[in-house]
Amino acid sequence: MHNEQVFTPSWMVNLMLDKLQYSGNGILQKHIIDNSCGKGAFLVEIVDRYCKVFFETYGSKNNLKHELETYIHGIEIDEVCWGLTVVNLNRVGLKYGIENVEWDIRQEDALEVDDFNGKMDYVVGNPPYCNVHDFGEKYDTIKKFSFAQGGMSDLYLVFFEIGVNMLNKKGKLLYITPSSWTASVAGKPFRKYLIDSNKLTDVVVLEHEKIFENATTFTMLTQISN
């Protein structure tokens, strides 16, 4: 299966985390995941924010390593990107005097991971874009998802379902994705879910803003809250 790897610029990462209200001491002891973390752009900023707030709150690094291992999570299917994420997170840890962190960053296929379900306070990220023609051997697995039942589906729609399933009873999700779900046949199951659940809290249309260096996809931010 071909996945479009388009990495999120740091200014957009910061904007999204601010919009998700992932800042201040309210983020401590709260679970957050990027379930398609690439090279770790979101997770690097998440760890930096967590460490900074931890030191501001407690004045020392006691127990910080344990909290980083417990509350910050990631999934990445690509082994090279997964390795770069770990390297990048180790670099942030060293900045705060934290070493040998056993990061909960899985080198797995998010389509097959369900043990985070119902546990996350925050889900954030830039899920992969991949249309039905590129599903390959993953076609049957992907088409089992409810949000993939609308014709010429795209993988990012399935990641909405994966992310929603990960949220706990008060959890919030924010993704940057193509805006095609708002009008396409493929997006119909997802639109129906949003209408029926009444959990769509915000959208930001970015169609005239060039977010990604090598991609011309019209994009938007979509926030869902329990």
Q: Is residue 1 scored above 50 in pLDDT?
A: no
Residue closest to 166 by CA, chosen among 17, 34, 78: 34
Residue 85: HSE in the Cβ half-sphere, 13 Å Cα cutoff: 30
Q: What are phi and psi of 204, to 5 degrees?
A: -130, 115
Tens of pLDDT along 131-176? 766 667 777 788 789 998 877 778 999 999 999 999 999 999 999 9
Q: Is residue 28 scored above 80 in pLDDT?
A: yes
Q: Is residue 112 scored above 70 in pLDDT?
A: yes
pLDDT of residue 104: 98
pLDDT of residue 150: 79
Quote the mean pLDDT of the chain.
91
> Mean pLDDT throughout 74-99?
97
Distance CA 60, CA 82 (A): 29
Are 5 and 125 in contact by the 8 Å Cβ rule? The answer is no
Tens of pLDDT along 193-223? 999 999 999 999 986 665 555 555 688 999 9
DSSP H or E stretch at residue 53: helix 41-58
Percent with pLDDT over 90 in the chain: 78
Q: Running DSSP on this structure, what letter comes out for residue 151? A: S
Written as one letter, the residue type at 71 is: Y
Residue closest to 203 by CA, chosen among 184, 181, 223, 217: 223
Tens of pLDDT along 144-155? 899 988 777 789
Q: Running DSSP on this structure, what letter comes out for residue 9? A: P
**pTM of the predicted model as reported, rounded to 2 decimal places:** 0.92
> Mean pLDDT throughout 83-108?
97
> Mean pLDDT throughout 107-134?
91
